[in-house]
Amino acid sequence: MDINKGNVEAETQLFQAQAHVYKHVFNFLGSMSLKSALQLNIPDIIHSHGRPITLPKLLLALHIDPAKSSHLYRLMRLLVHSGFFSTVKVPKGDEEEVGYDLTPSSRLLLKDNVPSLFYLAQAMLHPAIVHSSEHLGDWFSSNEPTPFYTVYGMGCWDYVSQNKDFSGLFNEALISDSSMMNLVIKDCRSVFEGFNSLVDVGGGKGAASRVISESLPNLQCTVLDFPYVVENLQDSENLKFVGGDMFQSIPAGDAILLKLVLHGYGDEDCVKVLKKCKEAIASKGREGKVIIIDKVINEQKDERDVRDAKLFFDVMMMIMTNGREREEKEWEKLFLEAGFSHYKITSISGLRSLIEVYP
């Protein structure tokens, strides 16, 4: 073996490892840079401009001190690298200069666009979550239920109910996430057809159920959530809101919808909820079902960005709750323990899967 060649390969691997470590040590700066772009309203400014915007015009629109021009350039350079903006050449007299344009990712972060993930990004980058994540290592050496509890002395759901500002942002996040529900209905409409009634358990302000009820006007939809969540919400002809606790009782229906609910709870609580769901569809007999929209981790088949997002979500659930993102075998275990006979998983574009669970 060529000793020098071996040394070169070892050095190359060492420097590659160094770059890999640096990348992950500083990953949080990508999140904070994105947060600053949303705080500065950069995506909406570019959108309102109607065409790619140059750095001087962006500086002017942001009402930023011209002395910070080079700093704004550096922020935009990172966000372009991260895929949130793109650069194009913009004519300037006989010359050209660089203009910044939106990408599909930043279009998804426009405040008033449909669909939009603006409020979801704001909620997930809230100090309550970011600060809790800093205590993950401490939590492993403690007896606290979650890192969130370590920091705030209460569970995440209690914090949401007691902190009105965060609660409002959290519910806006759920609504913004549900803004893509119409795509699910379009692709999986048959899943919701053939029923007279549907109960959306943990349905928040009813964003998902509104899409379903408008798409299927003959389907009677009921949203069940905590009283403080559904208070003052107006019923419509085929959509009503009920305050309650899914661990105590779930209104009867032909089908039950659980959208992004079970990933927030541990296995024991999930089985309790699923058993209540089974009771709620009992009158429908074998034709009733539970419809779950949630993540199913499949590290072998998921594309890299999808896999990364699911794994990040899983650690976030560990930080905030005693829940988790589950692999198929873990979902199956819950269904069998709750007394269901079989299930069917359909992949939905993006991170989600649609799971139909039968008595």
Q: What is the pLDDT of residue 139?
A: 94
**Is 306's pLDDT higher than 70?**
yes
pLDDT digits (tens, 9 = 90+) for 259-281: 999 999 999 999 999 999 999 99
Higher-pLDDT residue of 180, 41: 41
255 vs 289: CA distance, rounded Å: 5
Higher-pLDDT residue of 115, 268: 268
Residue 347 pairs in a beta bridge with: 353
* Choice among 20, 126, 263, 342 that is catalytic: 263
Please provide the distance, in angstroms rounded to a whole number, between the alpha carbons at the two ends of the chain: 64
119 vs 97: CA distance, rounded Å: 33
For the CA atoms of 273, 308, 106, 37, what is the dihedral angle to 10 degrees? 100
**Is 339's pLDDT higher than 90?**
yes
Mean pLDDT over residues 201-207, rounded?
Answer: 89
Query: Long-range contacts: 81-84, Cβ < 8 Å, 24+?
Result: 82/30, 82/33, 82/34, 84/34, 84/37, 84/43, 84/109
Interior angle at CA 49, CA 46 and CA 55, nearest 5: 60
35 vs 25: CA distance, rounded Å: 18
Encoded amino acid at 334, one letter: L
Structure tokens at 331: 């979902």
Domains with residue ranges and CATH for the chain: 3-106 (1.10.10.10), 114-171 (no CATH), 180-358 (3.40.50.150)
Residues of the chain with pLDDT > 70, as a percent, come to 96
Q: At 60, is the pLDDT very low, low, confident or very high (cuts 50, 70, 90)? A: very high
pLDDT digits (tens, 9 = 90+) for 126-172: 999 999 999 999 999 999 999 999 999 999 888 988 888 888 888 88
Q: Out of 99-103, 120-124, 284-288, which region has the weakest mean confidence (pLDDT)?
A: 284-288
* 263 belongs to the catalytic site: yes
Taking the model in full, what pTM does it have?
A: 0.85
